[in-house]
C-alpha cells in the first residue's frame, strides 16, 4: 500500500504557528502541580484491573513517511471503557467524594466522559445522574445506563444538557463532576486532567523519554492536550515539538492561539470527531496551552474513515488497532504534514524524528465504528 501517492491525498484545512510560544515548565506545573500529577498516578495505578495501555509502533507508516519511529498510545484498551477518558472522570469522582457514600454525582457528556463518571460512581457504590443531549447516540446512552447511571436525555445540544445538569444538581444537591472548567469551577476539571497525565507516566516507562521529538495532541475543550503538556513538564527532560489537531469546524484552540485570548466558535456542522467537536477551550487547559503549544492544525472529516480502516487492517503497523473517530486525527495530521514540504520543514520532521500520537479511543460506539470502516 502506498499512502503518499499522486500528490496530496490527505487533507488539512489550516496550519499555524503560535507567536506566543514559550514553554515554561515551572509555570505549567503551577497550573497543574507535580503533587496533583503524582497523586493521580499513585491512586489510579492501584485501581483494580489497572494496567498501562500499549504503546504500538506504526512501523509501516514511519517507513513510508521516512520518519524514524511513530508511537501510538492505544487507549482502546483502557479499563474496558475504551478511551483515555476513563482516567479523568472516575478519578475526579474519587477525589471529590472522599469515601462519602451518600453523595450523588452528576455530569453532562457527549459520551466518554460520562461513561468514566458512571464507572467511577459504580466503583465506589455511588448514585450517578448523566445528562446527554439529543445528539448523543442511543448506544452511548445505553453504555452509561448499563453502568448503573440514570441517563437523562435533554433537548438541544451539549450546552443545553450542561445547563440542565447544573439546574437539577443545584436543586437536588448533587455533586457535578464536569471535565470543562468555568469561572469558580476549576478544581474538578483539574482532577480530570491530573487523571489523564497517567498516560504520560506510562509512556516514559515504555520508551526512553529522550526519544520523543514530536507529540501530536487532539483537542476538544483542550483537557487532554493540557494534561499531556503538563505531563511533558513533569516527566520529560526535553521539550518535544507539539502540534494540536482539531476538526476544522470546531478549531477553538487554534482560533484562541491565533488571537491570544479565548475565542468562541459557532459550530455550524458537528464533526465526525464527536468528542472534539467543542466550541470553546476550557479555562484551565487554556492557561497551559496558550504559551506551551508550538503549532496547530485543523482537519476536515474526509480522511477519518480511511484512517480508521488502515489502522484496523494492519496497513500502518504489524498489529491490528481498533481506533475510533477521535483517534484518527493524530495520524492524519502527521501524514498530511509529511506530504506538504513546507509544513514538514516547519515541524522539522525527518528521518530522525520519533513521533508520539495518541489513539485516544477504540470503538466506543460499535455501530458507528463498523459503519465507518466499511465505508
Ligand atoms: C474520545 C474523545 N473525547 C474527547 C476528546 C477531547 O478531549 P478534551 O475535550 O479534553 O480536549 C478526545 C480527544 O481527542 C477524545 O478522543
What percent of the chain is modeled with pLDDT above 90?
86
CA angle, corner 229, sides to 226 and 247, nearest 5? 55
What is the model's pLDDT at position 8? 54
**Nearest C-alpha to atom 14 of ligand 1 is from which residue?**
218
Q: Looking at the predicted structure, is the pLDDT value of residue 1 above 50? A: no
**Gap from CA of 280 to ligand 1 centroid (Å):** 13
- Tell the burial category of 288 from Cβ atoms under 10 Å away from its Cβ (0-12, 13-18, 19+): buried
Residue nearest to atom 12 of ligand 1 (CA): 275
352's grid cell = 530522525
- Of residues 299 and 184, more confidence is placed in 299
pLDDT in tens, 260-279: 999 999 888 889 998 898 88
Average pLDDT over residues 128-147: 93
- Chain mean position to CA 45: 20
Residue 47 has pLDDT above 70, yes or no: yes
Q: Mind listing the domains of the chain with CATH numbers?
A: 14-84+192-373 (3.40.50.1100), 89-178 (3.40.50.1100)
Mutate to test the pocket of ligand 1, among 224, 244, 282, 328 (most ligand atoms within 8 A of CB): 224
Q: Is there a contact between 117 and 150 (Cβ–Cβ < 8 Å)?
A: no
Average pLDDT over residues 154-172: 94
For the chain, what's the residue count? 375
pLDDT digits (tens, 9 = 90+) for 108-130: 998 889 999 999 999 999 999 99
* Mean pLDDT to the nearest integer, 218-246: 97
User: pLDDT-derived band of residue 69, with 50, 70 and 90 as boundaries?
Assistant: very high
pLDDT of residue 275: 87
What is the C-alpha to C-alpha distance for residues 309 and 319, in angstroms, rounded to an integer? 13
Compute the distance between CA of residue 152 and CA of residue 328 in angstroms, rounded to an integer: 30
pLDDT at 9: 83
Assigned C-alpha cell, 159: 450546552
Q: Is 252 helix (H, G, I), strand (E, B) or coil?
A: helix
In the predicted structure, residue 183 carries a pLDDT above the cut 80: yes
- Judged by phi (left if over 0) then psi (alpha if -120 to 50, else beta), residue 148 lies in left
* Whether the predicted pLDDT of 368 surpasses 80: yes
Contact between 28 and 230 under an 8 Å Cβ cutoff? The reply is yes
CB 311 within 8 A of CB 1: no
Given a contact cutoff of 8 angstroms between Cβ atoms, the answer to whether 125 and 181 are in contact is: no
Q: What is the mean pLDDT of residues 333-346?
A: 96
Give residue 356 CA to ligand 1 midpoint distance, Å: 16
Residue 159: per-residue pLDDT: 86
Q: Is the CB of 279 under 6 A from ligand 1?
A: no
Q: Which residue has the higher pLDDT, 158 or 175?
A: 175
| pLDDT tier at 7, thresholds 50, 70, 90 | low
The pLDDT of residue 268 = 87
pTM (2 d.p.): 0.95
- The reply to whether ligand 1 has any atom less than 6 angstroms from the CB of 253 is no
* Residue 222 cell numbers, joined: 483542550
330 Cβ inside 6 Å of ligand 1: no
Residue 43: closest CA among 97, 98, 112, 91: 91
Q: How many CA atoms lie within 13 A of 363 on its CB side?
A: 16
Taking all residues of the chain, what is their mean pLDDT, rounded to a whole number? 94
Helix (H) or strand (E) holding 299: strand 295-299
Quick one: which of 212, 221, 220, 218 has its CA closest to 241? 212
Count other C-beta atoms under 10 Å from residue 4's C-beta. 15
Integer Rg of the chain from CA: 19
User: Is the distance from CB of 90 to CB of 253 less than 8 angstroms?
Assistant: no
CA–centroid distance, 368 to ligand 1, in Å, is 17
Amino acid at each position: 500500500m502506498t499512502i503518499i501517492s499522486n500528490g496530496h491525498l490527505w487533507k488539512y484545512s489550516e496550519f499555524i504557528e503560535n507567536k506566543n510560544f514559550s514553554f515554561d515548565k515551572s509555570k505549567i506545573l503551577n497550573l497543574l502541580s507535580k503533587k496533583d500529577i503524582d497523586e493521580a498516578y499513585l491512586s489510579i495505578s492501584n485501581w483494580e484491573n489497572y494496567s498501562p495501555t500499549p504503546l504500538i509502533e506504526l512501523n509501516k507508516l514511519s517507513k513510508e513517511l521516512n520518519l524514524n519511529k511513530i508511537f501510538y498510545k492505544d487507549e482502546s484498551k483502557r479499563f474496558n471503557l475504551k478511551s483515555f477518558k476513563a482516567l479523568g472522570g472516575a478519578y475526579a469522582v474519587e477525589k471529590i467524594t472522599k469515601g462519602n457514600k451518600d453523595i450523588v454525582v452528576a455530569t453532562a457528556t457527549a459520551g466518554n466522559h460520562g461513561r468514566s463518571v458512571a464507572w467511577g460512581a459504580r466503583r465506589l457504590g455511588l448514585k450517578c445522574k448523566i445528562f446527554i443531549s439529543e445528539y448523543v447516540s442511543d448506544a452511548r446512552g445505553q453504555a452509561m445506563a448499563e453502568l448503573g447511571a440514570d441517563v437523562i436525555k435533554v433537548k438541544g445540544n451539549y450546552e443545553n444538557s450542561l445547563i440542565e445538569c447544573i439546574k437539577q444538581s443545584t436543586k437536588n444537591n448533587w455533586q457535578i463532576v464536569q471535565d470543562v472548567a468555568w469561572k469558580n469551577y476549576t478544581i474538578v476539571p483539574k482532577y480530570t486532567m491530573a487523571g489523564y497525565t497517567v498516560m504520560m507516566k506510562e509512556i516514559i516507562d515504555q520508551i526512553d523519554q529522550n526519544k520523543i521529538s514530536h507529540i501530536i495532541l487532539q483537542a476538544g475543550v483542550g483537557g487532554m492536550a493540557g494534561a499531556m503538556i503538563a505531563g511533558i513538564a513533569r516527566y520529560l527532560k526535553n521539550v518535544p515539538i507539539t502540534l494540536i489537531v482539531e476538526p476544522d469546524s470546531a478549531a477553538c484552540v487554534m482560533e484562541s492561539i491565533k488571537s491570544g485570548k479565548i475565542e468562541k466558535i459557532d459550530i455550524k456542522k458537528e464533526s465526525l470527531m464527536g468528542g472534539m467537536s467543542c466550541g470553546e477551550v476550557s479555562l484551565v487547559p487554556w492557561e497551559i496551552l496558550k504559551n506551551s503549544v508550538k503549532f496547530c492544525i485543523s482537519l476536515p472529516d474526509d480522511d477519518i474513515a480511511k484512517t480508521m480502516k488502515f489502522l484496523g487492517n494492519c496497513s500502518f503497523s504489524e498489529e491490528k488497532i481498533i481506533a475510533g473517530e477521535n483517534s484518527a486525527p493524530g495520524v492524519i495530521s502527521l501524514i498530511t504534514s509529511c506530504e506538504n514540504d513546507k509544513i514538514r520543514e516547519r515541524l522539522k520532521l525527518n528521518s530522525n524524528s520519533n513521533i508520539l500520537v495518541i489513539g485516544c479511543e477504540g470503538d466506543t460506539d460499535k455501530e458507528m465504528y463498523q459503519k465507518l470502516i466499511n465505508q
